[in-house]
Structure 1
Amino acid sequence: MATLSVAAVLAENARRRPAKEALVEGDLRLTFAEVWQRALAQAGALAGLGVRPGDRIALMAPNTADFPQAYYAIAAAGGVVVPVHLLLSQTEVEHVLTDSGATLLLCHPAQAQTGAAAARAAGIRTVLLGEEFGKLAADAEPLPSYVTREADDPAVVFYTSGTTGVPKGAVLSHFNLVMNATVNAFDANDIRPDDIALGALPLFHAFGQTVSMNSTWRAGATLVLLPRFDAARAIELMVKEKVNTFHGVPTMFVALAAAAAGADALPELRVCISGGASLPVAVLERFEAAFGATVYEGYGLSETSPAAAVNQPVFGAKPGTIGHPLWGVDVEIARADAEDRIELLPPGELGEVVVRGHNVFSGYLGRPEATAEALVDGWFRTGDLGTKDDEGFLRIVDRKKDVIIRGGYNVYPREVEEVLMRHPGVAQVAVIGLPDDLHGEEICAVVVPAPDTAPEAAEITEWSREHLGRHKYPRRVEFTDALPLGPSMKVLKRELRVRYAAR
């Protein structure tokens, strides 16, 4: 029996570099020894509340010090963390609590209204982080060390928003998460103990949790938390704290590139990683020009812990791609229409992206049919379409479900978005297919105009007609102040389809 726990990531730092600064949030500064002592005290409090190894504990908190503290406390107590997205409604939170079988909700006071109401409806106890949990921890006997877990035991259950249906719980093991943090820190990137990373991505999401929190600490580096992302504030904080590592989603890179011009000083960034959604090449170029730093774009899903592929210094970075698979992981292109088997395609062919390796999840909690559909012949089917070139660089073309079929031709929204992002009047854009009597689907571009511009729909259509094939350019252009974003900062295209199909 091989034993392993995510809690070891923090425990080992407390042993190897106890006095090293681990966590910074506002005026709060904690060393690895302090964070670990607090986690063991909180784990003792959880044991006192009746938490047993394998129990699922929901955690609902923003990017304050409470999150990593409680996360490692749950792991130390042998529990399974069920992170709750902060943008969910009470009914949606209740679904996560009941579906996961959570026995307790640890909730930040700022989320208490929604969280506590959902917990009452689900019939489970809520403990508020901060004063209430702090008192329980102060009165409890701290655990002497973390509880023994087997490598394949569940560590975290991520609820995936999915593009359809109700959210499903993706079960990730201690082995999945420890390996993903390790290869992210030491193989994909050269993360060093004296690095300082900005934790601006939501920690309740797989990207923020693995890449910002666990990988940073796996390398013994410092995490500086930013509870609410604001580009100007992020630049100020990075300069003040000498941050050299930034992980973000494309919307953050857009905002930072725009805010750089008005900043007094800019941070010296060594490692910049983008994920969560496709980063338009125009945005990557703008950011690199402003900050003088290389952006390494990657790709992953909750079901793959999440990182599966990323541009890596060892292979060189190629803008517009997601680089190469992580160490010990295979990412290939398979025939998209062969549902019951995996048939790998040669380089250059378009197909479904499939993943196998130490990062692939155990399955969907309580959903054997959905698990069997997703895990085929030892590979995880991502539902994304992509290609692999002769040098092994992977490229995501689009979600299988987002492809637009106009007059019998396949149009990939991402390709259209890449082109539109180069228009001077476009700050952000999402391309969707809307029902059309003549062509089956018509192409619609939903545009957030660039500051101080007032582009016209006809002008954008005309411009894109010069830059795109006849079947690809948007016949319809709509303007909006902001695109609807899901909890993981992806644009919710299904919401846009509903909104504009009705018009």
Structure 2
Amino acid sequence: MLFDKPWLRHYPAEVPPTYAYPEQNLAQFLVQSAEANPKGCALDFFGKKTTYARLLEQSYRFARALLRLGIVKGDRVAVMLPNCPQAAIAYYGTLLMGGIVVMTNPLYMPRELEHQLTDSGARLIVTLDVLVSRVKSSMRDRPLEKIIVTRLQDYLPFPKNALYPLKARKEGMKADVEYGEKVLSFTALLRQSSPDPVEVPLKPAEDLALLQYTGGTTGYAKGVMLTHSNLVANTLQTRLWFYRSRAGRERYMAALPFFHVFGMTVLLNQAISLGCTLLLVPRFEVGQVLRLIDRKKPTVFPGAPTMYVAMIHHPDIGRYDLSSIRVCISGAASLPLEVQSRFESLSGGKLIEGYGLTEASPVTHANNIWEKRKNGSIGIPFPDTEAKIVEPDTLTEVAPGEIGELAVKGPQVMKGYWNQPEETYKCLKDGWLLTGDLGRMDEDGFFYILDRRKDLIIAGGYNIYPREVEEVLFEHPAVEEAIVAGVYDPYRGETVKAYIVPRAGAVPDEEELKLWCKGKLAAYKVPKIYEFRESLPKTLAGKVLRRKLVEEEAARLQGPSDDEMERKGG
């Protein structure tokens, strides 16, 4: 067994290679924590605290509200909220009554929303007052049955709740909401609903808890079907890895968004399963986060590399005490060694890199927190998780040290893609999930990712799908051809660069194209760099060679070779 799974030699004695995962509703973690510690603090929203008993009661009320609105087991409920108490209430309330949660990014523009809501068949959405007009605009052709509206100030403490509307107006966020038969108040619905427990029978291994949207290398995002069993397993796998966690005593800095599956598992689900406190941050602002760490003393801080980069480079970093942080898990993009070392020296805690993908709930690998770890590695597979490097065409396993495609297998691997059996067939083979990422495994069983999915751009931890951006650029009347690629960025890891061939006689400029894209795409997808060309490199068949552009960009960053300098007399 050790020969087949060399990584088991490096498991801490406290971490079991296999575990018996309970067959239960994912929301049962909340029920159990509320029973064990009803007065414990579950959520801290800028000083407004919600106990476990209160969170469960509010979640039951939300579940009852959905049932009164005619939502039944298996219906899709979209949740388009930042990290706030309402997000947790809507999430667990939907799960309790057997609904399927569709976590939706509040940054999405109408065309992005339209695809996700239409594809999932969501019957209603829970969102902020300032986002209602965007939701309505996206669903003109297929209006949602109900829009449930909440306000951030409803769960803020005094005086922040009184000051927040002024701040929102100052930032240009308008909230013109006309309540009626189809537009309902979140707080009113909860007041009108019973707090009696809701327990809808389900089959955890079959019934979906979540439709989480992700993309491949091209086209629109696909709905990943994650069952209750998938998410229960991954929650417990992450807990087993964090074997020194203290139930009821950890404080989680929740700056990663819950609508991202990484934040959902390692923050929301893990903290709730342990009966611990989530310090909710609706939007990552480095100064605010540093102040919260200094004041609230979180012990666990999962994040994306860009968060740690922003913190270590903050001009006033020396003024803040980070010593409360014991454990940080970095995901969503590769973690530079210098960032890891600097953050560990500042905090005194451990910052480890892990690996996952939406299709695996998401975590499959991580470096040991307190034992052997290797720089540049994504670590070793989690309990009950198998991993191998295969030859992409034949799927035969390659020898240690050889490069191939990473394949994973385990209880956290998705059921498939929503309404896309062909796409499911392409990446699920006999229970093995083909990740599309190239990597290698060394003799010790530590894995390394060498290249991300072909063409996928990962900027600041967000996945950006080139085709979606290109379609927006193509719609501009002055654009003849357009292609986008990820280019190196010292802060975001990658940033989006657009290569444009203008139409004859047209003279588009960078600012004009930026404004065009900002009206149709989330801000993080908008190209930051533009290069205007007479033509794009193509194959004989007319296919644009995106990789050629990426190689040119890499060569440009490296500068001229010694031979070239010598020829130029340098």
When the two structures are superposed, what TM-score results if normalisation uses the length of structure 2?
A: 0.71
Contact 1:55-1:80 at 8 Å conserved across structures:
yes
**CA-to-aligned-CA distance 1:76-120 (integer Å, 9 cap, x gap):** 111000011122211211111111111111112232221233344
Q: Secondary structure at the match of 1:247?
A: coil
Match of 1:238 in 2: 293
Over 3 Å counting, the alpha-carbon distance change for 1:217 and 1:445 in structure 2 is farther
Match of 1:310 in 2: 366
Give 1:21 shift: 0.8
User: Following the alignment from structure 1 to structure 2, what is the Cα–Cα distance between the partners of residues 355 and 260?
Assistant: 41
Give 1:189 shift: 4.7
Residue 368 of structure 1 pairs with residue 389 of structure 2: no
Give 1:348 shift: 0.6
Match of 2:212 in 1: 158
Over 3 Å counting, the alpha-carbon distance change for 1:353 and 1:432 in structure 2 is farther
| CA RMSD of superposed structures (Å) | 2.8
Match of 2:223 in 1: 169
Over 3 Å counting, the alpha-carbon distance change for 1:350 and 1:97 in structure 2 is same
Over 3 Å counting, the alpha-carbon distance change for 1:50 and 1:120 in structure 2 is farther
Match of 1:489 in 2: none
Contact 1:203-1:209 at 8 Å conserved across structures:
yes
Contact 2:327-2:369 at 8 Å conserved across structures:
no
Match of 1:411 in 2: none
Amino acid at match of 1:202: P
Over 3 Å counting, the alpha-carbon distance change for 1:34 and 1:151 in structure 2 is same
Amino acid at match of 1:313: I
Tell me which of 382, 387, 395 is aligned to 2:448: 395
What does 1:275-314 correspond to in 2, within 5 Å?
275-313=331-369
What does 1:387-426 correspond to in 2, within 5 Å?
387-402=440-455, 426=490
User: Following the alignment from structure 1 to structure 2, what is the Cα–Cα distance between the partners of residues 192 and 182?
Assistant: 14
Give 1:11 shift: 0.6
**CA-to-aligned-CA distance 1:427-470 (integer Å, 9 cap, x gap):** 555399996689982555879xxxxxxxxx98x634x968xxx9
Tell me which of 371, 384, 400 is aligned to 1:328: 384
Q: Secondary structure at the match of 2:445?
A: coil
Residue 461 of structure 1 pairs with residue 526 of structure 2: no
Q: Secondary structure at the match of 2:548?
A: strand
Amino acid at match of 2:132: A
Match of 2:465 in 1: none
Match of 1:88 in 2: 108
Match of 2:234 in 1: 180
Amino acid at match of 1:213: L
Runs of 4+ in 1 over 6 A off after TM superposition: 431-435, 437-440
Residue 12 of structure 1 pairs with residue 44 of structure 2: no
Percent identity of paired positions between Structure 1 and Structure 2: 34
Over 3 Å counting, the alpha-carbon distance change for 1:158 and 1:432 in structure 2 is closer
Residue 146 of structure 1 pairs with residue 221 of structure 2: no
Give 1:309 shift: 0.6
Give 1:190 shift: 3.1
Query: Which structure's CA Rg is the greater one?
Result: 2
Amino acid at match of 2:274: A
User: Following the alignment from structure 1 to structure 2, what is the Cα–Cα distance between the partners of residues 371 and 379?
Assistant: 11
User: Following the alignment from structure 2 to structure 1, what is the Cα–Cα distance between the partners of residues 384 and 446?
Assistant: 16
User: Following the alignment from structure 2 to structure 1, what is the Cα–Cα distance between the partners of residues 315 and 100?
Assistant: 40
Tell me which of 128, 150, 170 is aligned to 1:129: 150
Q: Secondary structure at the match of 1:397?
A: strand
**CA-to-aligned-CA distance 1:275-327 (integer Å, 9 cap, x gap):** 00111223222322332322110011110000111112365222211111111
Residue 441 of structure 1 pairs with residue 548 of structure 2: yes
Give 1:202 shift: 1.0
Residue 78 of structure 1 pairs with residue 133 of structure 2: no
Amino acid at match of 1:58: A
Tell me which of 430, 450, 461 is aligned to 1:377: 430
Gap runs ≥5 in structure 1:
404-419, 448-456, 472-503
Over 3 Å counting, the alpha-carbon distance change for 1:326 and 1:135 in structure 2 is same
User: Following the alignment from structure 1 to structure 2, what is the Cα–Cα distance between the partners of residues 260 and 398?
Assistant: 33
User: Following the alignment from structure 1 to structure 2, what is the Cα–Cα distance between the partners of residues 427 and 133?
Assistant: 38
User: Following the alignment from structure 2 to structure 1, what is the Cα–Cα distance between the partners of residues 302 and 227?
Assistant: 23
Match of 1:115 in 2: 135
Contact 1:364-1:370 at 8 Å conserved across structures:
yes
When the two structures are superposed, what TM-score results if normalisation uses the length of structure 1?
A: 0.80
Amino acid at match of 1:275: G
Over 3 Å counting, the alpha-carbon distance change for 1:161 and 1:16 in structure 2 is same
Give 1:54 shift: 1.0
Which one is further off, 2-11 or 365-374? 2-11
Report the number of matched residues. 434
Over 3 Å counting, the alpha-carbon distance change for 1:34 and 1:387 in structure 2 is same
What does 1:211-226 correspond to in 2, within 5 Å?
211-226=266-281
Which one is further off, 183-192 or 57-66? 183-192
User: Following the alignment from structure 1 to structure 2, what is the Cα–Cα distance between the partners of residues 432 and 160?
Assistant: 18
User: Following the alignment from structure 1 to structure 2, what is the Cα–Cα distance between the partners of residues 147 and 431?
Assistant: 45
